[in-house]
Amino acid sequence: MPPRIPFLSAPRALSVRSRPIAPANQCLLLARRQTQCRNYSDPKKDLPKADGLKGPNTETLPSISEEAASMASTAGTEGPDLEQGTPVEEVVQNDKEAIDKLPQVMKDDVKNKNGTRSYSTFASSGRQYSTSAIQRQEITKQPGTLAQNDIIAMTRQQEAEEARLIEEYSLDRELANMAEPEAVVEDLSGLKFGMPKMPLPPGSHYKDRYDPLVDQLVGLMIQDGKKSIAQQNVAIILNHLRTAPPPTYSPIRPMLPGAPPPSHLPLNPVLYLTVAIDSVAPLLRIKAIRGAAGGGMALQLPSPLGLRQRRRTAITWILDQASKRQNRGSGKGTFAHRVADELIAVVEGKSSVWERRGAIHKLAVSARANILDVRKRR
């Protein structure tokens, strides 16, 4: 019997090797290399300089005394002494709180007002030394020069001349704009075919590209809210009118005045549809007024109809007569073919819709006397 195999003991010893550890000296060297970074705030290194650039404080405005001295040297007169500073008495002259805190000697000098300088750069009423004021004084003091009033008059004259020139320039610009209007340049960038000419021609708008009569016929042929099916039926009707042979006008049932010859109708199916519906559309409708005739009887009054009302009545009659026709086949579009056949019968004067139109017109003619009767009763 062979000996049992021990599954719990490993077949051989596994050698576990330790991972080498980096020496400590190498870690210290890495840490030292990372800390070797010198910032711009290091005092051992100056800030970077750029040639041709100026700092924020490289060009400052001169003080009042320096400005006065430069103007005096230019004019050839005596200016303030730059070596002598402004006395403390002049600095605190308007500050009572600062005067109270001064030593007694300075308080006495302030009270006596015995300054060592005849020229002051700080005064209670502002600057006693003004460049423009001294220039005016020197001009008026010099012999053979203009007086102050003459200078003011010359200044005002120059200002008036400048205002007149500005007004003339603006007037010339307005006249030039009125004479030659600027041409509006259209930006045609990004357009492949260019902009259309305005106003847009009829039928070019996406939502209003169909004829109003076609839209009205689609709306009256909708069933169960399915407009796409109604549009398909109208397309079948127009195609049938286009492919049908030219109709023959009836002398008993004349078309509208100005109707084209029958041979032209298949070339334009929308015109074919318009001639058929508008020719059979009634002009009036009979409105019954209850109790107006007396004894509880209704009084019939003729009332005119608008264009859409006339077309609606004619389309309703044509659809009713088409629904009574027999199918000439099977499948989709049978009702559309029946409507197209009824339209052709209307143009040829063979449809019974003409009789309904004639009956309403006869009743309206006989009831036209009731209009005067109603006016008298009012």
**284-317: pLDDT as tens digits:** 999 888 766 666 788 888 999 999 999 999 999 9
Same domain membership, residue 235 and residue 331: yes
| Reported confidence tier of residue 360, pLDDT bands at 50, 70, 90 | very high
- With respect to residue 373, please indicate whether it lies within any of the assigned structural domains: yes
Q: Give percent of the chain above pLDDT 70.
A: 65
Same domain membership, residue 236 and residue 116: no
- With respect to residue 129, please indicate whether it lies within any of the assigned structural domains: yes
Same domain membership, residue 224 and residue 129: no
Same domain membership, residue 216 and residue 137: no
pLDDT value of residue 6? 60
pLDDT value of residue 38? 55
CA–CA separation, 176 and 178 (whole Å):
5
CB 344 within 8 A of CB 318: no
Same domain membership, residue 118 and residue 224: no
Same domain membership, residue 260 and residue 349: yes
Q: What are phi and psi of 299, to 5 degrees?
A: -105, 125
- With respect to residue 50, please indicate whether it lies within any of the assigned structural domains: no
- With respect to residue 219, please indicate whether it lies within any of the assigned structural domains: yes
Range of the domain at 336: 212-377
- With respect to residue 259, please indicate whether it lies within any of the assigned structural domains: yes
Residues facing residue 284 across a β-bridge: 304
- With respect to residue 328, please indicate whether it lies within any of the assigned structural domains: yes
- Tens digit of each residue's pLDDT (9 = 90 or more) over 207-224: 788 899 999 999 999 999
Q: Mean pLDDT over residues 232-247, rounded? A: 96
Q: Mean pLDDT over residues 68-76, rounded? A: 80
- What lies within 8 Å, CB to CB, of 361 at 6+ separation is 282, 283, 284
Same domain membership, residue 359 and residue 255: yes
CB 313 within 8 A of CB 305: yes
For residue 323, what is the domain's CATH number?
1.10.455.10
* pLDDT exceeds 90 at position 238: yes
- With respect to residue 315, please indicate whether it lies within any of the assigned structural domains: yes
Same domain membership, residue 120 and residue 259: no
For residue 244, give the nearest of 346, 320, 157, 323 by alpha carbon: 346
Q: Mean pLDDT over residues 255-267, rounded? A: 94
- With respect to residue 166, please indicate whether it lies within any of the assigned structural domains: no
Of the residues 141, 165, 183, the one at which a domain ends: 141
Q: Mean pLDDT over residues 343-369, rounded? A: 94
Q: Which of 54-58, 99-103, 131-135, 142-146 has the highest mean pLDDT?
A: 99-103
* pLDDT exceeds 80 at position 359: yes
pLDDT value of residue 44? 55
Mean pLDDT over the full length of the chain: 77
For residue 79, give the nearest of 90, 65, 93 by alpha carbon: 65
For residue 348, give the nearest of 268, 262, 273 by alpha carbon: 262
Same domain membership, residue 97 and residue 219: no
Query: Locate tokens 């009033």: which residue?
Result: 149
* pLDDT exceeds 50 at position 122: no
Same domain membership, residue 234 and residue 363: yes
Of the residues 141, 168, 185, the one at which a domain ends: 141
Whole-prediction pTM: 0.48
pLDDT value of residue 352? 94
Same domain membership, residue 332 and residue 221: yes
- Tens digit of each residue's pLDDT (9 = 90 or more) over 37-63: 555 555 555 555 656 656 655 566 676
Structural domains of the chain, count: 2
Q: What are phi and psi of 334, to 5 degrees?
A: -70, -40
CA–CA separation, 113 and 109 (whole Å):
6
For residue 302, give the nearest of 284, 328, 279, 318 by alpha carbon: 284
